[in-house]
Amino acid sequence: MSAPGRFITHAVSEPAPIPIPLSRPPVDDELKRAVLAAMDSRQYILGPECCRLEAELAQDTGVKHALLTSSGTAALWLTLRALGVKAGDEILVPSHTAFPTVEAVCLAGAKPVFVDADVFYTIDPADATAKVTPRTVGIIPVHLYGQPVDLAAVRDLASRHGIWLLEDCAQAQGAEWDGRRVGGFGRAAAFSFYPSKNLPAMGDGGAILTGDDEIASRCRRLRDHGRLDKDVHAEVGFNLRFNELQAAALRVLLRRLDTMNERRRALAARYTHELADLPLVLPPTRHRARHVYHLFVVRTPRRAELAAFLRERGIQTGVHYPIPTHRQPAVERFAPPPVPRTERLVDEILSLPMSADHTDEEIDRVVAAVCAFFGA
């Protein structure tokens, strides 16, 4: 025991900074009540909550049909099967995307043809046009980071060459092109409800949106073992169904989608304003698009140093994506052509914390740390 009146001195270290995650999914009482009510219903798979969510998603996007699936990858793959994709078909995909875009093409038996990125990091319509061959059947543009691709150019390309257009909207729920929600510009669209996405589930989930009756009914059948009815299986499908607990939560969040996206846009504006004078490339934005900032991606040749500096200060960052899909070992056999802009991008991109649930104070801490790194 120490003598009264005497101080004990400890080696005092800096308290660890409170961590700031890259993304923070919402959790609150309204969501918990919705999930518990679904639990009480004792109907867990493709029940009334799923039915209502499908109707609400279709209405929200302005598209005739919405079908819930077990993931965004499942949504892509089911749609490709419903489109009749077969071995030998070529499909134009951006190399700069999440691997599932390309994976779905491979699973459907087709060949992914890798297209370079444009200055907005999304599929370059000029490079896509140059890569069309007689075997090309479709194009999957990805609204990457929450920003629509150049839909005017991509739709024009698809109609000139008589190929279908499947929008990958996994990162862009609620984004708009010319004032219209993405997801209604092609034959079909695939969405993801992965927990960091703009419409986040508490697990995996996805959806197909389409105005095409045949694609909708084929996907509906394929996601449930190729069933025509309870006992008859018209074809071999799979189990790619969605569930009631998730649908109940997503119905609550869909009502908040615009508010959540506005919040992301406000945080992006805060970053943009505060980081404007640094030697950092900020996200480029298209004037016909409403960007919903699934990710806030900056560029610097000092990416690794900046990420390490932020990590030491408790700030999580990400790289979406460090290895472009055309260089993934899984698709080496397609001997992809060079995509130089993508190659340069992937060494410099860094995703800063972003979600509707981040606070202004957290973003200010990130800004202060980035400024400190650049000595500003």
Ligand X SMILES: Cc1ncc(COP(=O)(O)O)c(C=O)c1O
Residues that bind ligand X (CB under 6 A): 71-73, 97-98, 100-101, 142, 168, 170-171, 192, 194, 204, 206
Helix/strand/coil for 201: coil
Cα gap 204→331, rounded to integer Å: 24
Q: Whole-number minimum distance, CB 137 to ligand X, in Å? A: 19
Helices (H) and strands (E) in the chain, counts: 12, 12
Which residue number, 68 or 307, has a Cβ lying nearer to ligand X?
A: 68
Which residue number, 206 or 353, has a Cβ lying nearer to ligand X?
A: 206
Which residue number, 73 or 243, has a Cβ lying nearer to ligand X?
A: 73
Which residue number, 123 or 306, has a Cβ lying nearer to ligand X?
A: 123
Q: Whole-number minimum distance, CB 144 to ligand X, in Å? A: 7
Tokens encoding 10 = 């400890």
Q: Whole-number minimum distance, CB 301 to ligand X, in Å? A: 25
Q: Whole-number minimum distance, CB 71 to ligand X, in Å? A: 3
Residue 97: how many other CB atoms lie within 10 Å: 27
Distances (CA, A) of 222 to 80, 100, 127: 11, 19, 34
Cα gap 119→44, rounded to integer Å: 45
Residue 252: how many other CB atoms lie within 10 Å: 16
Q: Whole-number minimum distance, CB 189 to ligand X, in Å? A: 11
Which residue number, 72 or 148, has a Cβ lying nearer to ligand X?
A: 72
Which residue number, 170 or 216, has a Cβ lying nearer to ligand X?
A: 170
Tokens encoding 185 = 């510009």
| Residue type, position 297, single letter | V
Q: Whole-number minimum distance, CB 101 to ligand X, in Å? A: 5
What element of type H or E holds 104?
helix 99-107
Q: Is 161 exposed, middle or buried (0-12, 13-18, 19+ CB in 10 A)?
A: middle
Do 350 and 289 form a contact (C-beta atoms < 8 A)? no
Length of the chain: 376
Residue nearest ligand X by beta-carbon distance: 72
